[in-house]
Amino acid sequence: MKRKSLFALSAVVVVAAAALVPVLWSGSDNLHNGTAVAATPADQAALIKKGEYLARAGDCIACHTVRGGKQFAGGLPMATPFGTMFTPNITPDDQYGIGKWTQDDFYRAMHTGRSKDGSLLYPGFPFTSYTKVTRADSDAIYAYLRSVTPVNVPSRPHELKFPFNQRNMLIGWRTLFFREGEYKPDPTKSVEWNRGAYLIEGLGHCGMCHTSINAMGGPVSSAAFAGGLIPLQNWYAPSLTSNKEAGLGDWETKDIADLLKTGVSNRGAVFGPMAEVVHNSLQYMSDEDINAMATYLKTIPQKSEAPEPLQLETSEKFGGELLKQGQKIYADNCAKCHAENGLGMPPAFPPLANNQSIQMPSAVNPIRMVLNGGYPPSTDANPHPYGMPPFAQALSNQEVAAVVTYIRMSWGNHGTAVSPQQVSDLRSAPLD
């Protein structure tokens, strides 16, 4: 839930993830009975409409709908260091979905991370964020999900390694990393700021991508919003707390709002997982909510230092050779759009000069962009975005390393040389 002058921002602000969005990791739990009933048909229709909006804000569709599959029928594989999870069916099907869940059952999952039968849900479902969602909003999402077309498809069991397939072990994880409780407004802040905090910290669950996780899969509390690698998608979610990465301290609020709503702004464009978040979720949010999120993000405390993820390094001599080689490759392939001086033609073609996303310690995102290309999201405000062509077939690992080295070290940029081995590793990595 990833981005400054964001050339290859994989996940700027909201999330990703990404691949970490509203997922009820209920597996094959047995479900029972209950429905939400509004006072009148008009009330029910309004509740469903509100729930649809909130489900968009949470980007539920991203995890619960396989590309080309039935909406919310689940089945999306999530490869993690602990094994593969499969997202469940959350349509109102009585046999395989949540057709027999009550409002209380649904709120318990959102608020406490427990399924209908009381079993513990895996934290791939971001209940650590959703616990902040109000009961009223949870009931609205529930009403909306009850209104969609039921799909009679069973949820696929997770394929987790021992001992991670033992749900009772989650008790220890929860003790360390989970604090239950709805969002409490800060009385010293504005209504707009509090609304933004509620969306970013709760439904948006932005911290799940923009906060590093430890070996136990738990968030590093001291590094909230300080960035981290998204292993599920092989992108780097940059730090929102450092101006050396995606820190927003020197951004205008309007530029942050434009980026969230349309995927492009005068400061850059989003690609990768963050582009999917904008496409599936943020473009549908009201201007008021987008501005509230931007207002909150603008106030995230900034730190002088950014995280330093593991980065394969080259020798100084070889780095110099790559820099020289990259200059010619850039002139032949990149200068037409990004200009010889690296200033580009924003917002269509982002600048590479003085672009923090290019200079970050992690070179994952610019490497992915050169290899695989990509587009900012297609939104109502930007229906025909300019894209970046892929060069995986045209350039060797060393040539990709060379051109990325060149853009990271030219025009006053302070990045470091890139190893061809890292390019090779990312070339073979899954695209999603």
- The CATH number assigned to the domain holding 261 equals 1.10.760
CATH code for the domain of 384: 1.10.760.10
Do 334 and 279 reside in the same domain of the chain?
no
Pure H helices in 213-271:
253-262
C-alpha to C-alpha distances, 421 to 55, 68, 307, 318, 380, nearest whole angstrom:
41, 35, 22, 13, 40
In a domain, 153, yes or no: yes
Q: Quote the pLDDT of residue 112.
A: 95
Q: Both 346 and 421 in a single domain? A: yes
Instruction: Please report the pLDDT score of residue 406 as a whole number.
Output: 95
25 closest CA partner among 146, 189, 159, 180: 159
Contact 2, 205 (CB under 8 A): no
The verdict on residue 387 lying in a domain is yes
Is residue 27 a part of any domain in this protein?
no
Single out the residue in 177, 206, 227 at which a domain terminates: 177
53 and 168 in one domain? yes
Strand partners, 229: 236
Task: Please tell me the predicted confidence (pLDDT) of residue 8.
Answer: 33
Same domain, 151 and 234: no
Q: How many helices (H) and strands (E) would you count in the chain?
A: 17, 7
For residue 381, count other CB atoms closer than 10 A to its CB: 10
Q: Is 16 inside any structural domain? A: no
Q: Which residue shows structure tokens 């427990």?
A: 114
Q: Indicate whether 3 belongs to any domain.
A: no
The DSSP letter of residue 57 is H
Which residue type sits at 290?
I
- Determine whether 346 is exposed, middle or buried from the number of CB atoms within 10 Å of its CB (0-12, 13-18, 19+): middle
Q: What is the pLDDT of residue 235?
A: 72
Q: Which residues contact 39 (CB under 8 A, 6 or more apart)?
A: none
- Do 154 and 256 lie in one domain? The reply is no
CA distance 358 to 236: 12
The answer on 221 and 135 residing in a single domain is no
Contact (CB, 8 A) for 26 and 291:
no
Q: Same domain for 48 and 173?
A: yes
Q: Which of 32, 33, 190, 25 is nearest to 110 (CA)?
A: 25
Inter-residue contact 312 to 409 (CB < 8 Å): no
Cα 178–chain centre separation: 20
In this structure, the answer to whether residues 173 and 197 fall within a common structural domain is no
* Interatomic CA distance for residues 351 and 89, integer angstroms: 42
Q: What is the dihedral of CA 416, 419, 425, 430, to 10 degrees?
A: 40
Determine, yes or no, domain membership for 306: no
The token duo for 406 is 């060149």
Q: Crossing angle, helix 135-147 and helix 41-57, to 10 degrees?
A: 100
Last residue of a domain, one of 149, 177, 205: 177
- 152 and 211 inside one domain: no
Provide the 10 A C-beta neighbour count for residue 310.
9
> Helix, strand, or coil here: 132?
coil
Closest CA to 370 of 308, 426, 313: 426
* 233 and 169 belong to one structural domain: no
Chosen domain end from 298, 329, 345: 298
Does 186 map to a domain?
no
Residues 110 and 229 in one domain: no
Q: Which domain holds residue 419?
A: 316-427
**Residue 268, H or E segment:** strand 268-269
Residue 13: which of 234, 245, 304, 345 has the closest Cα? Answer: 245
In degrees, rounded to 5, the angle at the alpha carbon of residue 25 between the alpha carbons of residues 19 and 28 is 140
Number of folded domains that form the chain = 3
| Residue-level pLDDT, tens digit, the chain, 432 residues | 333 333 333 333 333 333 333 344 444 333 334 445 566 888 999 999 999 999 999 999 988 999 889 999 999 888 777 888 899 999 999 999 999 999 999 999 999 999 999 999 988 899 999 999 999 999 999 999 999 999 999 999 999 888 888 888 889 888 888 999 999 999 999 999 999 999 999 999 888 777 766 666 666 665 677 666 665 566 777 777 776 666 677 788 999 999 999 988 877 778 878 888 999 999 999 999 999 999 999 988 877 555 555 556 677 888 889 999 999 999 999 999 999 999 998 878 888 998 878 888 888 888 988 998 888 888 888 888 888 899 999 999 999 999 999 999 999 998 889 888 888 888 876 655
Plot region of 405 (φ>0 → left; ψ -120 to 50 → alpha; else → beta): alpha
Both 48 and 163 in a single domain? yes
Q: What is the pTM of this model?
A: 0.72
Question: Quick one: which H or E segment has residue 86?
Answer: strand 83-86
**Residue 79 falls inside a structural domain:** yes
